[in-house]
Structure 1
Amino acid sequence: MQFHSSALAAVAFLVLSAEARWHYSCTCHNGGSYIWRITSNACSSYNSYIFQTWPDSQNSVRYDTPSGRVSHRFPKRCAIMAYGVLRNELSAHIWNQCTSVGPGGNVIDGDTMERLCKETAQEGFPCANNNAHTCFAAPDSVSSWCD
Structure 2
Amino acid sequence: MTTHTRAAEPVETEPGVLTDLPRCRSLASSGTSLASTTQEIPPEVLALLVLPDFDTLTSDQVRGAVCVWGTERLTTETSVDLGEQTGEAGHWWPRACHQHAGVRAYLALYAHVALCEPCVDDVGQCETGRALSRLIRRYRR
TM over 0.5: no
Under a length normalisation based on structure 2, what TM-score does the superposition of the two structures give?
Answer: 0.30
Which is helix-richer, 1 or 2?
1
Q: Which has the higher contact order (CA 8 A, sep 6+)?
A: 1
Larger radius of gyration: 1
